Amino acid sequence: MRILIVNSSDSTGGAARASYRLHKSLLECGVDTQMLVQGKSGDDFTVIGSETKTQWVMEKLRPLLDSLPLSLYKRRTNTPFSPNWLPFSSIVNRINTINPDIVHLHWIADGMMRIEDIAKIKAPIIWSLHDDWGFTGGCHIKWKCKRYQQACGQCPRLGSLKENDLSHKIFLRKQKTFAKIQNLTIIGLSRWLTDCAKDSSLFKAFHVMNLPNLINTESYAPFDKRQARSLINLPLDKKLILFGALKATSDINKGYTELTNSLLLIDSKNTELVVFGSGQPKSAQGFKQKAHYLGRLYDDVSLRILYAAADVMVVPSLQENLSNAIMESLACGTPVVGFDVGGNSDMIEHKNNGYLAIPFDTSDLAHGIEWVLNHPKPTELAQHAREKVMTEFDSHIVASKYITLYEQVCKASKV
């Protein structure tokens, strides 16, 4: 059984980290798997990147070129939107040349392939949804919009009032393409996204199931807090509030504004903020707390030490599927506070291993942070955090479920 995992990148972004973890876990289980990416950053020989200089140049240009149609929408929001219109991608030809038994798609935006190319894949397809793009007219973050249940159009992410806008046209392209695919299984990584996919008109003909990301609980494990703080030069006598994501301070979906407002309500004498995934912004943010900006961290060892150094992790995103940051923090025994949105409740058990705040209520978010910081039994909280991940998201447990699915799909394709 040969599996090919396909993702835009092997390292940049949450989908890259999650799909690469699955790839490595499958290899450890003895599965013949490779990973095909548009932009390769690492040196893992089991990950296939560009093969020629021309491919390498085009991989750098395709994300920019693919986004050109968005320039017509001056009122669009600062959230990801992918037309996936750009032709002449070599990805599908390379997939079919490798000739795997199953193609496992993950995040395929940034001009990686045209929507129409998906139907040209010869092997059975499993598609893990890391955001909303698969069932919408191009947006990756739909927020409250439900137009994907019909045919999109009048897209709020584009700031469009027209029915036949870019989102509607993309939706029709997907509808036509998906109708040609015979063997497609859709995976929602969270229960919430699984339900969204089931409610979509694009995926109504396909099997949609819930299967989460996984994590290596040996790489992400508790670490002595004082030692962790000493290693990264953080104070030993303060309560540390951790916040981090790719583009943590500039991506409006990551809740930086909501975090800022909630921290105004929290004691600043005994608490400090630690931010990773972003450097210090040019203009001051108005925090009462002293803030430490650590920039981007790339390796599991550094992240493990950082999670262990914190007293609480805050994930104030306006929409989340199945956050790597939440899973990583819990695995390291650090409780998490976030809004009760998306897939957060798959991992955060309210007042057991963290706190689920009323969506977008910054005062309740502040209350949740204080609830964790002032908990009378922090060791118990940490144990519950770790146990949740060990029992439901450990790489050995989840990888076996993926292997079972692969075997079922392979068997069905031969009938």
How far apart, in Å, are the Cα atoms of 278 and each of 241, 243, 247? 15, 10, 6
**Helix/strand/coil for 180:** coil
For residue 280, what pLDDT is reported?
73
- 55-71 CB burial, b ≥16 within 10 A, e <16: beebbeebbeebbeebe
Please state, in angstroms and as integers, the Cα–Cα distance from residue 313 to each residue in 140, 193, 347, 363, following that order.
24, 23, 13, 17
Structural domains in the chain, sorted by start: 2-214+395-413 (3.40.50.2000), 225-392 (3.40.50.2000)
pTM equals 0.94
For residue 135, what is the DSSP state? G
What are the two backbone dihedrals, phi and then psi, of residue 2, each rounded to the nearest 5 degrees? Answer: -110, 125
Q: How far apart are CA 311 and CA 271, in angstroms?
A: 10
Angle at 343 between CA 340 and CA 345, to 5 degrees: 50
Structure tokens at 143: 């927020």
Q: Percent helix, strand, coil in the chain (nearest 5)?
A: 40, 15, 45
In three-state secondary structure terms, 230 is: helix
SS3 at position 90: coil
**C-alpha span between 302 and 138 (Å, rounded):** 35
Residue 415: predicted pLDDT: 67
Ordered DSSP codes for 146-179: -GGGTT--S-TTTT---TTSHHHHHHHHHHHHHT
Tens-level pLDDT at each residue, the chain (415 residues): 999 999 999 988 899 999 999 999 999 999 999 999 998 888 899 999 887 777 778 778 899 999 999 999 999 998 999 999 998 888 999 999 999 999 999 999 989 999 999 999 999 999 999 999 999 999 999 999 999 999 999 999 999 999 999 999 999 999 999 999 999 999 999 999 999 999 999 999 999 999 999 999 999 999 999 999 999 999 999 999 999 877 766 788 999 889 999 999 998 899 999 999 877 766 666 678 999 989 888 789 999 999 999 999 999 999 999 999 999 999 999 999 999 999 999 999 999 999 999 999 999 999 999 999 999 999 999 999 999 999 999 999 999 999 999 999 999 887 6
Give the Å distances, CA to CA, from 272 to 245, 262, 364. Answer: 18, 13, 19
Coil, strand or helix: which one is 129?
strand
* Cβ pair 62, 111 in contact under 8 A: yes
pLDDT at 282: 67
